[in-house]
Structure 1
Amino acid sequence: DGGGVRGLSSLLILENLMHRLSPEKDILPCNVFRLIGGTSTGGIIAIMLGRLGMSVKDCITAYHSLSRDIFDGPWRPKAWQTSKKVLGLTGDAELRSRRLEEAICHIIARYLPAEEKSALFGEEEIDPCKTPICRVFVVATQQSNGRRVILRNYPIPYEASRDMTIVEACLATSAAPFVFAPLTAGPEGCRETYIDGGLGNNNPVAIVLQESRLLWPRQSVKSLVSIGTGARVPTEVKQNLMSLAKKVAEMIVDAANEARDFESNIRLTEPSIHSVYFRLDVAESMARIGLAEWRMLGAIAQRTRSWIFENHDLLNRCVVTLGGILLNCLCITLRYLSKC
């Protein structure tokens, strides 16, 4: 899910899952999951894990640096910030976008092999000797019409891939209004402007299921894991401009309702998927931590670890489904290597 600095919670939960799955040896999520999707800052995490092949530990370190580098600096009072959002001023958003771009470029330079292109999306034929087991997508929104856009590192039938770099994909999916500037990309004459994928798609679990069926239409889902960033507590709507802007911002990033709707739907219509679906989310304890409050990272970590301790059985049930996937992925890897 998207959630700004609260994305650290998702990484800590994932780190615990990987440790339970392999206590004695670190394993990469890209070697466990065949598909990783994310929205907003969750999209950046998806790219780091799936496209760059980073370990969860390295992602956590990078996320700390990202949060501090992007959001550090003098902040005006909250009332001033809210009124600034209503007025649509974007100076700080453009500065934060430049900081985010620089930080992502630094991560790419460190973790992407020098001989590998920095493009994330293309239309090349899948080569079993080159295609990673893990596919990755992030969600963005077209500013012109509000339409959802899925940016992939793999081709699908009947839809052309968008030619974007890793940096552009990260900036597109995370361009939350008033927080980051919109991202304009594409060839001359066909350029499009993108904003945050969290506008209506902050929890991408339904898209993950949809994409998996496009990729593997004849295979059943073995495990579906949705990791949140902390549910938000509903607030009373007061009839004034500043509280309305705050309420709209909360509605934009609320993924809890999407999670409940998805679970209700699959429970009724697809019980086989419901039995392997796990929603892992630190609930109300983080609800009032803002998207940019990087100084709260310590509190986020503490509350997430408490949630992990309290949900031992849930996490173990999730790991049972992942264990079979890990074995299957190892077999696929060996098969690809034999072909190469």
Structure 2
Amino acid sequence: MHRLNWIHESNQSDGPRLPCDHFDLIGGSGTGGLVFVSYALLRKTLILFSLIAILLGKLCMSVEEASEEFCKVIEQVYNSDGLTASERTASLRKCIEDIMKRKQLPIDLQLLAKQAGAGACFVVTSSRNNAKSTICLRSYPVRSQPPLSITIIDAVIATCAVQPDFAPITCGSGFRKREYIAANGAANPVNEVITEAHLLFGGDAKVASLLSLGTGNPGIISFPPTGSGPKLDRVMQDMMQDCERRAQEMEQRIGQVGIYCRLSVEQGMQSDQLEQMDDLSWIAAQTEDYLNRPDICEKLDLLVQNFGVEIGPISLDQLSACFHSPLYLVLIT
């Protein structure tokens, strides 16, 4: 955002712009794992992530403001030991209600409600009765599915309701009653953002860039010496949420097109540093060091350069075909 606004301020006098001014679609799952898509039809752009998606897209926050609010949620909800699932969910609800009040918005505001200046955003969740399902809670209507009536607060809780740490969120009544939990297997929802962009803008829309923001490379994942227990549970969880595999697949499929950029701290955030993960300043330090690397600076410059193109090199139809095309492998025994 700093680099984008640096260019904008050199040509305009109306001050820094917000992410919702630059990007047309923001979405994601859980509280981490970001994927951005940039769309250059009518000089517009798209993004993807989750709790932060609503803060930036629906609540029109700056990156700095969203970071401050995100840190408050981490401190009050995730770093509080001894809470039951219901208590942790209530704590998250209170945090989001406070955010809504600070933004002078009603706490019962619907995700689909029209708001001046707000961008399109979605979050990914699952049904408690079908944990393998992937459900998109949208701030915009689509032709293929009827809209879901859900508040902004309930949508945030639904996408963050990791089991068993949070209670499921219940919405609706009667046969329309639904229980939502955090999406399982969508930690890197790159497929979802392409699908949603296709629904929202159509297959002819040209993509200028796709930026995937990770939460740090977990390093090599290996099984513990014993065959069961907490360590094995953690390994299985790491394997299920290994975003790097999807990122590498995307690089293999569309890397040569020139639109795909993956940013994820490569050193310092591995699983053997778990004792440091509660220290947000330590995480920031690792990220700043990563972003100052010459090769990453080149990636950022290319990303900003892509924002200036009139028409992207690939359509959403073509991008979807690349993503869903088969990989051909060789098995040697």
TM-score (normalizing by structure 2): 0.77
CA distance in 2, matches of 1:34, 1:109: 25
Instruction: Report whether the alignment pairs 1:281 with 2:264.
Output: yes
The worse-fitting range, judged by mean Cα deviation, of 149-158 and 227-236 is 227-236
Question: Secondary structure of the residue that 1:156 maps to in structure 2?
Answer: coil
CA distance in 2, matches of 1:185, 1:111: 24
CA distance in 2, matches of 1:164, 1:209: 23
CA distance in 1, matches of 2:158, 2:24: 23
User: How far apart are 1:241 and its partner, in Å?
Assistant: 2.5
Whether the aligned pair in 1 keeps the contact of 2:276 and 2:282 (CA below 8 Å) is no
Q: Tell me the residue number matched to 2:58.
A: 51
Of residues 273, 283, 290 in structure 2, which corresponds to 1:307? 290
Of residues 132, 139, 142 in structure 1, which corresponds to 2:124? 139
Q: Do the aligned partners of residues 200 and 71 (structure 1) sit closer, same or farther apart at CA in structure 2, a change above 3 Å counting?
A: closer
Q: Tell me the residue number matched to 2:112.
A: 121
User: How far apart are 1:249 and its partner, in Å?
Assistant: 1.9
User: How far apart are 1:321 and its partner, in Å?
Assistant: 1.4
CA distance in 2, matches of 1:95, 1:18: 41
CA distance in 1, matches of 2:178, 2:4: 38
CA distance in 2, matches of 1:23, 1:301: 26
User: How far apart are 1:188 and its partner, in Å?
Assistant: 2.8
Whether the aligned pair in 1 keeps the contact of 2:125 and 2:158 (CA below 8 Å) is yes
Q: Do the aligned partners of residues 40 and 18 (structure 1) sit closer, same or farther apart at CA in structure 2, a change above 3 Å counting?
A: farther
CA distance in 2, matches of 1:133, 1:219: 21
1:71-110 alignment to 2 at 5 Å?
71-74=78-81, 92-110=84-102
Whether the aligned pair in 1 keeps the contact of 2:125 and 2:181 (CA below 8 Å) is yes
Instruction: Return the structure number with greater relative CO, CA threshold 8 A, min gap 6.
Output: 1
Q: Tell me the residue number matched to 1:161.
A: 147
CA distance in 2, matches of 1:191, 1:252: 29
| 1:282-323 superposed Cα distances (whole Å, 9 cap, x missing partner) | 124212355x97631011000000011002111111111124
CA distance in 1, matches of 2:81, 2:24: 42
Instruction: Report whether the alignment pairs 1:70 with 2:56.
Output: no
Q: Tell me the residue number matched to 1:30.
A: 20
CA distance in 2, matches of 1:300, 1:119: 33
Whether the aligned pair in 2 keeps the contact of 1:54 and 1:111 (CA below 8 Å) is no
CA distance in 1, matches of 2:187, 2:6: 27
1:244-283 alignment to 2 at 5 Å?
244-267=232-255, 274-283=257-266
Question: Secondary structure of the residue that 1:193 maps to in structure 2?
Answer: strand
Of residues 185, 201, 207 in structure 2, which corresponds to 1:221? 207
Question: Secondary structure of the residue that 1:285 maps to in structure 2?
Answer: coil
Q: Do the aligned partners of residues 64 and 23 (structure 1) sit closer, same or farther apart at CA in structure 2, a change above 3 Å counting?
A: farther
Whether the aligned pair in 2 keeps the contact of 1:18 and 1:29 (CA below 8 Å) is no
Whether the aligned pair in 1 keeps the contact of 2:59 and 2:118 (CA below 8 Å) is no
Identity of aligned residues (%): 28
CA distance in 1, matches of 2:101, 2:139: 19
Instruction: Report whether the alignment pairs 1:41 with 2:31.
Output: yes
Instruction: Report whether the alignment pairs 1:172 with 2:158.
Output: yes
Name stretches of at least 5 consecutive residues in structure 1 with no aligned partner. 1-14, 76-90, 326-340
TM-score (normalizing by structure 1): 0.75
CA distance in 2, matches of 1:29, 1:283: 25
Counterpart AA for 1:30: C
User: How far apart are 1:121 and its partner, in Å?
Assistant: 2.8
Whether the aligned pair in 1 keeps the contact of 2:58 and 2:118 (CA below 8 Å) is no
Name stretches of at least 5 consecutive residues in structure 2 with no aligned partner. 33-49, 311-333
Whether the aligned pair in 2 keeps the contact of 1:62 and 1:107 (CA below 8 Å) is yes
User: How far apart are 1:275 and its partner, in Å?
Assistant: 1.5
